[in-house]
């Protein structure tokens, strides 16, 4: 019986994978890879069999049942199977469903965390998601629910919406209905962590204007405290103090 390692590949560039993830990937016999994973990561496991199981919004792609069955079947042959997921496996990665399928089949699994898109967007734009005194809570939410309903809330100081690129105008209206002011700052980042990332900043009332710029690209929307730019600190008033050196009398 083999085993399965879930590895977070990060949100974009290949070098955002962790050292632990890269070392484990290099040992893989089989890799089940997501659609948005950087192809350059294949260089870390050139001898492995790579199987594309990526899900793509609004297109035909691998079903979750198919992925679960592949994981079980490949591990049962004694292989080290790597399930290489974009971002972090535990954040909107359906990790619970795949772990459950392996547990039912008696297959051992481990999880190696990765960098999720919200963190990459914060780093790319130099807009920390938390701020002392005014940004103490962060919510990560998928813009669309399983039944295709657009969801918005006002439950944290900073709210990050994943997979929102096609619904920016509607998302802005839902956020306003949830209690956010039209003047609320919003930061929109598509392909966070990649060399071709795009960033735009808006008032909530104008969020629909971002739709054309980010159209067709994986997009995260940051709303609230974490969307504001960092202001330069005011220089502190300093007092110079003379440091007396001992005098050499000899």
Active site residues: 34, 55, 163
Distances (CA, A) of 4 to 22, 102, 186, 245: 15, 8, 39, 65
Return the structure tokens found at 38. Answer: 């950087």
Q: Where are the beta strands (DSSP E) in the chain?
A: 3-8, 30-33, 49-52, 80-85, 108-112, 138-142, 158-162, 185-190, 198-203, 219-224
CA 154 – CA 148 distance, rounded (Å) = 20
Return the structure tokens found at 105. Answer: 């089949």
* H-helix or E-strand spanning residue 119: helix 117-125
Q: Are strands 80-85 and 30-33 parallel, antiparallel or unpaired?
A: parallel
CB 159 within 8 A of CB 230: no
Q: Which of 62, 63, 28, 61 has the alpha carbon at shortest distance from 42?
A: 28
Contacts of 89 (CB under 8 A, 6+ apart): 6, 7, 8, 83, 95, 111, 112, 113, 114
């Amino acid at each position: 019986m083999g085993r399965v390692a879930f590895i977070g590949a990060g949100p974009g560039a290949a070098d955002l994978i962790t050292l632990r993830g890269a070392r484990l990937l290099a040992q893989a016999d089989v890799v089940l890879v997501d659609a948005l994973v950087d192809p350059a990561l294949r260089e870390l496991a050139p001898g492995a069999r790579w199987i594309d199981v990526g899900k793509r919004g609004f297109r035909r792609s691998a079903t979750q049942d198919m992925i679960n069955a592949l994981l079980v079947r490949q591990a049962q042959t004694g292989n080290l199977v790597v399930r290489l997921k974009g971002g972090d496996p535990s954040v909107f990665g359906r990790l619970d469903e795949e772990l459950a399928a392996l547990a039912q089949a008696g297959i051992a699994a481990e999880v190696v965390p990765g960098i999720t898109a919200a963190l990459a967007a914060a780093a790319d734009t130099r807009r920390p998601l938390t701020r002392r005194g005014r940004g103490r809570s962060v919510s990560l939410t998928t813009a669309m629910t399983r039944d295709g309903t657009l969801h918005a809330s006002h439950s944290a100081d900073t709210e990050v919406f994943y997979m929102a690129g096609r619904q920016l105008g509607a998302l802005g209206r839902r956020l306003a209905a949830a209690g956010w002011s039209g003047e609320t700052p919003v930061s929109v980042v598509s392909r966070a962590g990649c060399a071709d990332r795009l960033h735009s900043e808006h008032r909530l009332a104008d969020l629909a204007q971002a739709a054309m710029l980010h159209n067709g690209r994986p997009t995260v929307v940051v709303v609230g405290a974490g969307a504001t730019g960092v202001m330069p600190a005011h220089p502190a008033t300093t007092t110079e103090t003379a440091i007396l050196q001992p005098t050499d009398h000899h």
